[in-house]
Amino acid sequence: MSFLGVVPFLLFALLFLVGPTLYLAIGAFQDPTGAFTLANFAALLQPNILSAYKISIQISLASAALGALIGFALAYAIVHGGLPRVLRPAFTTFSGVASNFAGVPLAFAFLATLGRLGLVTVFLNEVFGVNIYRLGFNLLSFWGLTITYLYFQIPLMVLIIAPALDGLKREWREAASILGGTTWQYWRLVALPVLAPSLLGCFLLLFANAFGAIATAYALTGSSLNIVPILLYAQIRGDVLYNPNLGYALAVGMILITGLSNGLYIWLRGRAERWMR
């Protein structure tokens, strides 16, 4: 009877993960009358839909790469950078909160900070005479959304990679130093090969995290940016582009992409854990 402890989790997964996924998969192969069709998947080859997938993948790749790079640097500073130990719980707590801060509140925060009349925008213009919008910056654009995503991507990277950095044994570095190895040689030949599965896995997880985000993107850009989550929302809830079955096909495509990313992340995490034992 010890398996009864996992029953609530299995029920939750069945009701909120497996059930909706099957519903989407079935709906993607149906037309408005309920008849079987492949037209919904054929419609995914339309130029505007292919463009939406392309832009979504590009934003996800950009935010994942920058988030992984900056987050790794922050995590290294926290774990091995010689900072006071009292700062680590503060950074970890903030990262836990910030990694889950998204949606309308995050969009409003960035509009109030980097919008055309945002605090930072006005400050730079009045104090330094620099108008970032005249220089080409636009919060409601590719890079604007990417920067917004970094707010939760960087803390998520810190939370995930910190345990891997903890697993780097001090004896490895001491052994490298005794054998005459430089810091660069230690990182190139020891640390980075050990961390490579974790780093790549974190990158894939950040990619999936950004690819599936909709609330922040919709609240920030509305329909001005053609990305898959916003297009999906328009197909299911919109008045002009209303086509739920095409929306289901879009959702299945997103599930396949994020599922592949998460699957590779789980596989890489398993390889990384073997090194840390």
Give yes or no: residues 12 and 142 share one domain.
no
pLDDT tens digits for range 154-200: 999 999 999 889 888 888 888 888 888 888 888 888 888 888 888 99
> From the CB of residue 176, how many other CB atoms can be counted at a distance below 10 Å?
18
CA–CA separation, 28 vs 242, rounded Å?
Answer: 14
206-223 residues labelled b (16+ CB within 10 A) or e (exposed): bbbbbbbbbebbbbbbee
Q: How confident is the model at residue 128 (pLDDT cuts 50, 70, 90)?
A: very high
Give yes or no: residues 14 and 88 share one domain.
no
For the chain, the domain total comes to 2
The amino acid at 236? I
Q: What is the mean pLDDT of residues 8-13?
A: 88
Alpha helices (H) along 46-169: 47-80, 87-98, 104-114, 119-127, 142-166
For residue 234, give the H/E element and its range.
helix 228-237
Give yes or no: residues 211 and 172 share one domain.
yes
Give yes or no: residues 30 and 105 share one domain.
no
Give yes or no: residues 116 and 12 share one domain.
no
Give yes or no: residues 148 and 166 share one domain.
yes
- Output the pLDDT for position 43: 92
Give yes or no: residues 138 and 167 share one domain.
yes
- Residue 95, both tokens: 């990262």
Give yes or no: residues 272 and 143 share one domain.
yes
Range of the domain at 174: 43-276
CA–CA separation, 108 vs 219, rounded Å?
Answer: 8
CA–CA separation, 34 vs 36, rounded Å?
Answer: 7
pLDDT tens digits for range 235-260: 887 766 788 899 999 999 999 999 89
Strand-pair partners of 30: 36
Give yes or no: residues 136 and 269 share one domain.
yes
CATH number of 270's domain: 1.10.3720.10
Are 219 and 104 in contact, with CB atoms under 8 Å apart?
A: yes
Give yes or no: residues 214 and 146 share one domain.
yes
User: Which among 184, 162, 92, 222 has a CA at the least distance from the CA of 233?
Assistant: 222
Give yes or no: residues 87 and 221 share one domain.
yes
CA–CA separation, 133 vs 208, rounded Å?
Answer: 30
CA–CA separation, 246 vs 39, rounded Å?
Answer: 8
Q: Which pTM does this prediction carry?
A: 0.89
Give yes or no: residues 29 and 50 share one domain.
no
> From the CB of residue 163, how many other CB atoms can be counted at a distance below 10 Å?
14
